[in-house]
């Protein structure tokens, strides 16, 4: 493989971290140890990791309500993330944001977003700033198949193409917009078909194959950095959990469908590939997983044992 071993291992580790983080968050939610709700990314790891592996620290991403995976892939701190889920003062957003609004501006993470498609116009602004400064920064805009139908996304796509912004739209098509399957919510099957209509190149990619995502995003990011404008990548993927919470959506999602996507588990596929190429043995893979699990445990402990915010802080941070 042309990718350096270090990088491959980092990608594997990050995918495992996302999976473990999400399963952990799911357990915490089920046990009512964290307030509110979670939208879990398990199953989609290849997209966030394959994409963000092409970014530098000063590149930007905008994320979605299902944002934990993107935040971790961009280098987010899992302790601060769990603390935010617990609503603690030590959380990424001092407990004021919660799961859907986690952000780390130093890492260019412009926030998870509770509004479907809300990140797309913001990504236009971020990419515009990148172009304005002329230092080759790019912005990845993550959005779902659901978001691909909302008005502001079309506005953003047109503007990105018009201004040749360094913006890559990564559409994670996990087949479900909340609880309704794609074919009952939109008139086309391949979201990448819309790219030409917007005036940008587009492709559909196997979203369970982290190296396929890495390839496709690499091409798009290089285009963007050269000043040639945006791209639309549709990554076909699947989320194991339901839209929200920890059910697997068994009542509404056919068993054959769920089994099919599980059989193409992105972490398993990558692990097999790395083993076949002699990059990572089974034993080494197990060791990584064990290490990650212990980091997750430690991060949860940090979050749970952190102090809550003070009520005096309620009215702070509304204005600069």
Examine residue 262 and tell whether it contacts another protein (CB under 8 A): no
- Burial of 58 from C-beta contacts in 10 A (0-12 / 13-18 / 19+): middle
- Sequence-ordered alpha helix ranges (H) in the chain: 5-30, 45-52, 68-73, 78-85, 119-133, 151-162, 194-198, 210-225, 255-263, 266-276, 282-305
Examine residue 92 and tell whether it contacts another protein (CB under 8 A): yes
Examine residue 129 and tell whether it contacts another protein (CB under 8 A): yes
Enumerate residues 6+ apart whose C-beta is below 8 A from 270.
Answer: 11, 12, 15, 46, 209, 210, 211
Question: Which of residues 3, 37, 77, 97 is near another protein by CB under 8 A?
Answer: 97
Examine residue 121 and tell whether it contacts another protein (CB under 8 A): yes
Site string for another protein, 44-83 (x = CB under 8 A): ----------------x-x---------------------
Question: Which of residues 91, 201, 229, 230 is near another protein by CB under 8 A?
Answer: 91
Per-residue burial over 236-264, b = 16 or more CB atoms within 10 Å of its CB, e = otherwise: bbbbbbbbeebeebeeebeeeebeebeeb
Question: Which of residues 75, 101, 203, 245 is near another protein by CB under 8 A?
Answer: 101
Examine residue 317 and tell whether it contacts another protein (CB under 8 A): yes
Examine residue 110 and tell whether it contacts another protein (CB under 8 A): yes
Examine residue 218 and tell whether it contacts another protein (CB under 8 A): no
Chain positions contacting another protein, by CB under 8 A: 60, 62, 91-97, 101, 103, 105, 110-111, 113-115, 118, 120-130, 132-133, 139, 151-152, 155-156, 158-159, 162-163, 316-320
């Amino acid at each position: 493989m042309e990718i350096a071993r270090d990088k491959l291992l980092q990608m594997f580790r990050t995918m495992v971290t996302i999976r473990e983080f999400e399963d952990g968050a799911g357990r915490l939610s089920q046990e009512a140890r964290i307030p509110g709700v979670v939208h879990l990314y398990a199953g989609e790891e290849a997209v966030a990791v394959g994409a963000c592996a092409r970014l530098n620290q000063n590149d930007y991403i905008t994320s979605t309500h299902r944002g934990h995976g993107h935040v971790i892939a961009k280098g987010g701190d899992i302790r601060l993330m769990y603390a935010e889920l617990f609503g603690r003062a030590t959380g990424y957003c001092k407990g004021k944001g919660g799961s859907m609004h986690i952000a780390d501006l130093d890492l260019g993470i412009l926030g998870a977003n509770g509004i479907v498609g809300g990140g797309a116009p913001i990504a236009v602004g971020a990419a515009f700033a990148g172009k304005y400064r002329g230092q080759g920064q790019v912005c990845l805009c993550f959005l779902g198949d659901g978001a691909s139908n909302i008005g502001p996304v079309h506005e953003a796509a047109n503007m990105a193409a018009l201004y040749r912004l360094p913006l890559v739209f990564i559409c994670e098509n996990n087949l479900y917009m909340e609880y309704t399957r794609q074919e009952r919510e939109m008139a086309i099957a391949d979201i990448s078909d819309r790219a030409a209509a917007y005036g940008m190149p587009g492709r559909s990619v196997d979203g369970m194959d982290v190296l396929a995502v890495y390839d496709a995003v690499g091409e798009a990011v290089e285009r963007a950095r050269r000043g040639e404008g945006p791209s639309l990548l549709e990554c076909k993927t699947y989320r194991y959990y339901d839209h929200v919470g920890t059910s697997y959506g068994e009542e509404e999602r056919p068993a054959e469908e769920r089994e099919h996507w599980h059989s193409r588990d992105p972490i398993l596929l990558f692990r097999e590939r790395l083993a076949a190429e002699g990059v990572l043995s089974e034993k080494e893979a197990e060791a990584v997983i064990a290490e990650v699990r212990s980091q997750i445990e430690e991060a949860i402990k940090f979050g749970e044992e952190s102090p809550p915010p003070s009520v005096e802080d309620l009215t702070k941070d509304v204005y600069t």
